[in-house]
Amino acid sequence: MSSVKVVLLFGVLALILVGFGTLVGYLIGDMLVMASIFFALAIGMNIFSYYKCDYLAIKMTKTKLIERKDNPRFYDLVKKVAETAKIPMPRVGIMPSTTPNAFATGRDEKHAVVVATDSILSMLNDDEMEAVLGHEISHITHKDVLVSTIAATIATVISYIGNIILFSELFGGMNERNGNTSILLLVSAILIPLGATFVQLGISRSREADADIGSVQLLRKPDQLISSLQKISKPVNKNASISRSSIGFPSRNSPNNSANAFSALFIMNNLNAHSLLNLFSTHPSLEKRIAAILKEKERLKIA
Annotated catalytic residues are: 136
CB 56 within 8 A of CB 49: yes
Element containing residue 116 per DSSP (H, E)? strand 113-117
Rg of the chain (C-alpha set): 22
DSSP three-state, residue 188: helix
**Buried/exposed code over 130-162 (b: 16+ C-beta within 10 A; e: otherwise):** bbbbbbbbbbbbbebbebbbebbbbbbbbbbbb
Of 278, 289, 104, the residue nearest 198 (C-alpha): 278
What does residue 64 show for φ and ψ, rounded to 5 degrees? Answer: -105, 115
Please report, for residues 33, 170, 181, 184, 223, the alpha-carbon distance to residue 175 in angstroms, rounded to integers and kept in the order given: 21, 9, 11, 14, 63
Task: Tell me the sheet residues that pair with 91.
Answer: 113
d(CA 99, CA 283): 17
- Beta-carbon-side half-sphere exposure of residue 38 (alpha carbons within 13 Å): 18
Look up residue 113 and give its amino acid.
V
CB 80 within 8 A of CB 130: yes
CB 108 within 8 A of CB 51: no
